[in-house]
Structure 1
Amino acid sequence: MASAITTLAAEAPQLSAANTGFMLICSALVMLMTPGLAFFYGGMVRVKSSLNMLMMSFISLGIVTILWVLFGFSLAFGADTGSVIGWSADYVGLSGIGLTELWDGYTVPVYVFAVFQLMFAIITPALISGALADRVKFTAWALFITLWATLVYFPVAHWVWGAGGWLFELGVIDFAGGTAVHINAGAAALGVILVIGKRVGFKKDPMRPHSLPLVMLGAGLLWFGWFGFNAGSWLGNDDGIGAVMFVNTQVATAAAMLAWLAYEKIRHGSFTTLGAASGAVAGLVAITPSGGSCSPLGAIAIGAIAGLACAMAVGLKYKFGYDDSLDVVGVHLVGGILGSLLVGLFATGGVQSEAKGLFYGGGLEQLGKQAIGVFAVLAYSLVASALLAFVLDKTIGMRVTEDDEVSGIDQVEHAESAYDFSGAGGGASSRSTTATTPVAAASKKVDA
């Protein structure tokens, strides 16, 4: 992720219409990823929870956007204070920014950089929601997003990408979000589920995806939008580095998908659509921090390693007994850790920076820096997120009641159902639907 640097006035760049347009398109692609994530997660849950899953992503578009404009951009990318947080009065409310004022050292306006980063801030808490499917009050989730973005995401984004942030100054490489986005979200998911506990029927009842076509649609939108997520993070297209990242994104994703499917075939005897979608996401996650540092051959290796490791990791929840509903820990935390650490092995020194990994004669120095970044973000997000969940659980309560969870969180929290099985329609009038009605009976059959 490109960050602010100081440039001599005589060398100050000029606004580039081409780069500005490119970055606006990339911002729109990243925005599309959040609805894509909603579809991806929404298809993976049971039918009685699908609308709630969609809404847990969509609400982030509303809440985080307002927070970002009011103070989030200032906290993440304002002038550094103590290497841990930023603050610039001109960024509060985005009110003191000139129309053509450039982000320091780049050819795009501050407004463009701000809106691009906003889309990262939106999708990161939405990623957490997949671990909490079926059982969280929507009001509690909305409040959690508000607090988590303020106390966890904005500071971590400054550490990693903000000028003066301590991980940025240390030399930790995170091209587009392995630490700030994926490890951050994955660790948060683990912290919250350790507090709120398992779903009713975990490891006993079948909890199969209700719509694999919806899952595949969501995965396709994520893959498409990820090109903006990754290639756009260089903030321009003048030197070819963004193009390398674009290629590496495609290559690593393909390799991860194939590796996941191969593992499935060997272990379970089948190539599944869910495995293909999950493998693709694992590759996207792993290449996000590393793709600006490696060659396409390195991207194949990173993708294959991530696909295999994440396929193996998703089963850990059954071994250790934590209920990560949609494998946020197994894919985003594990994939983010691998992608960030593998920079220390596969960095060529000839793409985004001169830093070289172990396999290219750089020794262990960069690997050590990457490890510091990985475990610092993991520890902070895990502890802070667990504390936030604990406080909310003890005050307003994080979970719906057991009866409401069993009957279906969609009706309880949103007074709607995803599918009109009876032809009578959804909406508020259906809130009184009981298990004896045709709608509820059909829902129970699908859930089974």
Structure 2
Amino acid sequence: MDQGNTAFLLIMAALVLLMTPGLAFFYGGLVKAKSVISMMMMSFGAIGLIGVLWVLYGYAIAFPGSEGLVPPWSIDWSAIGLTSLLEVPEGAAFPPLAFVAFQATFAIITVALISGAIADRAKFGAWMVFAAIWATIVYFPVASWVFNFGLADDGSFAYGGWTTYGMQEAFGVGVIDFAGGTAVHINAGAAALALALVLGKRVGFSKGAHVPHNPPFVLLGAGLLWFGWFGFNSGSELAADGTAALAWVNTLAAPAAALLAWLLVEKIKDGKPTSVGAASGAVAGLVAITPACASLTPGWAIVLGIIAGAVCALAIDLKFKFGFDDSLDVVGIHLVGGLIGTLYLGFFANNTGLIYSGNLTQLMVQAIAAFTVLIYSFVLAFVIGFIVDKTMGFRVTNEDEVAGIDTVVHGEDAYKLETV
């Protein structure tokens, strides 16, 4: 067993877990002061809920192993509760449980991302029920499609989901999604759009009606997200090597470029660059580079960041044009950014992109995977959300929403002003 790679993977897992508290601060700063506890609790609720489900059966669904093409919905019954993974196989690079830990943090952050679309108006209990069902029938299977693959000694696929092994067999190239453009960001963004439609608009929804109550929280959260994202992307190599280093550099370059691009769009549109815009631009760049971080030169990573920052800065206004209330722009940043990063590889991926190969095969398989995950997640999230809403109620009353739901739902206030 390589103790260096084991330590690397465990440290990367801890960095990715930190992303969810970072997301809580990022989202918490964006909502109104009387909803910040509710917003942050949806992220921390995801840590508790998905952490338990992953150990009980989530890993068994997401990584069923197998040989050849793994069925889209399968389960390794021996991995239920993880007892079969306690032993370290001879010659293994790291203990199986180190990989289990790393992938658990991906499941947690993916679920937490969705909550931003329903800020200021969702019941905590209903959110937890939705999160449990969606993780079980959407995230865990989709993670298997994308992340569950094994390689033979010669580097060819020994088994895998349909996006990797299946596409490789059918078209000669598999989908490139190094750290989760499809499984994490498109998946969460599509579910966020569905829930925004199920819950409806906030009271008084209009452009400029809801402003962030605490921009320093937003910047703190974005900083924690960016810090954790180095584990997210570099750790997906599962080894401390040159590919991990390339992923690290690209995880610096693309978000930095996206931050600048977002601020430039803000300056042109609104006359002033904002701190929230800087934070949002960085996150948009992080989303876009996620699938592509190990398959682009740093120069092309900067170009991707510029495109993602500018397009996402414009995309967040789509909710006003189309009339859906995605409270914290999960759709405009994660769905749009995930699509940009995933499809960009069809043109600029090292060796297989259009500019290197001269053909559009890589773009075709990227598009098939991206839009299949989008449709699958959206439809099931809408159905789950609709059932939860009709049975137990997903949304607080208008009166509680206007007053602020922290006290009603959690019996707490984020800020106590003492008077003498």
**TM-score, normalised to structure 2's length?**
0.93
**Secondary structure at 1:289 match in 2:** coil
Q: CA deviation at 1:205?
A: 7.2
**66 and 188 in structure 1: CA distance in 2 versus 1, 3 angstrom threshold:** same
Once structures 1 and 2 are overlaid, which stretch shifts more, 184-193 or 201-210?
A: 201-210
**408 and 299 in structure 1: CA distance in 2 versus 1, 3 angstrom threshold:** same
Mapped partners of 1:168, 1:423: distance in 2: 61
User: Which residue of structure 2 lines up, in the alignment, with residue 441 of structure 1?
Assistant: none
User: Which residue of structure 2 lines up, in the alignment, with residue 3 of structure 1?
Assistant: none
Q: CA deviation at 1:423?
A: 5.2
Deviations 1:10-51 (Å, cap 9, x if unpaired)?
A: xxxxx1100000011000000000000000000000001000
Deviations 1:346-365 (Å, cap 9, x if unpaired)?
A: 1112xxxxxx1012234100
Mapped partners of 1:199, 1:267: distance in 2: 25
User: Which residue of structure 1 lines up, in the alignment, with residue 261 of structure 2?
Assistant: 259
**Secondary structure at 1:176 match in 2:** coil
Mapped partners of 1:98, 1:195: distance in 2: 42
> Over aligned residues, Cα RMSD in angstroms?
1.4
User: Which residue of structure 2 lines up, in the alignment, with residue 420 of structure 1?
Assistant: 416
The answer to whether 1:368 aligns with 2:383 is no
**Secondary structure at 2:379 match in 1:** helix
Mapped partners of 1:231, 1:150: distance in 2: 27
User: Which residue of structure 1 lines up, in the alignment, with residue 170 of structure 2?
Assistant: none
**Secondary structure at 2:288 match in 1:** helix
Mapped partners of 2:250, 2:121: distance in 1: 37
User: Any unmatched runs of 5+ in structure 1?
Assistant: 1-14, 350-355, 425-448
User: Which residue of structure 1 lines up, in the alignment, with residue 71 of structure 2?
Assistant: 83
**Secondary structure at 1:304 match in 2:** helix
Mapped partners of 1:422, 1:317: distance in 2: 39
Aligned length in residues: 401
Mapped partners of 2:73, 2:96: distance in 1: 19
8 Å Cα contact 1:173/1:289 also seen in 2: yes
Question: Which of 368, 372, 379 is the equivalent residue of 1:383?
Answer: 379
**204 and 249 in structure 1: CA distance in 2 versus 1, 3 angstrom threshold:** closer
Question: Which of 281, 300, 306 is the equivalent residue of 2:283?
Answer: 281
Mapped partners of 1:269, 1:180: distance in 2: 36
Q: CA deviation at 1:399?
A: 0.5
User: Which residue of structure 1 lines up, in the alignment, with residue 157 of structure 2?
Assistant: none
8 Å Cα contact 2:258/2:306 also seen in 1: yes
Residues 400-415 of structure 1: pairs in structure 2 closer than 5 A = 400-415=396-411
**99 and 82 in structure 1: CA distance in 2 versus 1, 3 angstrom threshold:** closer
Aligned partner letter, 1:373: A
Residues 44-193 of structure 1: pairs in structure 2 closer than 5 A = 44-80=30-66, 83-101=71-89, 107-163=93-149, 164-169=160-165, 170=167, 171-193=174-196
Aligned partner letter, 1:37: L
Aligned partner letter, 1:197: G
8 Å Cα contact 1:44/1:326 also seen in 2: yes
8 Å Cα contact 2:255/2:283 also seen in 1: yes
Q: Which has the larger radius of gyration?
A: 1
User: Any unmatched runs of 5+ in structure 2?
Assistant: 150-159, 168-173
Aligned partner letter, 1:358: L
Question: Which of 4, 7, 11 is the equivalent residue of 1:25?
Answer: 11
Q: CA deviation at 1:90?
A: 2.7
8 Å Cα contact 1:16/1:107 also seen in 2: yes
Question: Which of 286, 292, 295 is the equivalent residue of 1:293?
Answer: 295
Q: CA deviation at 1:86?
A: 3.3
8 Å Cα contact 1:137/1:413 also seen in 2: yes
Q: CA deviation at 1:206?
A: 2.5
Q: CA deviation at 1:204?
A: 7.1
Question: Which of 303, 306, 310 is the equivalent residue of 2:305?
Answer: 303
% identical equivalent positions? 57
Once structures 1 and 2 are overlaid, which stretch shifts more, 329-338 or 400-409?
A: 400-409
8 Å Cα contact 1:49/1:408 also seen in 2: yes
Aligned partner letter, 2:416: D
Mapped partners of 1:257, 1:321: distance in 2: 27
Mapped partners of 2:370, 2:179: distance in 1: 14
Aligned partner letter, 1:165: G
Q: CA deviation at 1:194?
A: 1.0
8 Å Cα contact 1:106/1:235 also seen in 2: no
Question: Which of 345, 348, 353 is the equivalent residue of 2:347?
Answer: 345
Aligned partner letter, 1:74: A
Aligned partner letter, 1:55: M
User: Which residue of structure 1 lines up, in the alignment, with residue 155 of structure 2?
Assistant: none
Q: CA deviation at 1:325?
A: 0.3
Question: Which of 221, 226, 229 is the equivalent residue of 1:226?
Answer: 229
Deviations 1:47-79 (Å, cap 9, x if unpaired)?
A: 010000000000001000110000000000013
User: Which residue of structure 1 lines up, in the alignment, with residue 156 of structure 2?
Assistant: none
Runs of at least 4 residues off by over 4 Å: none
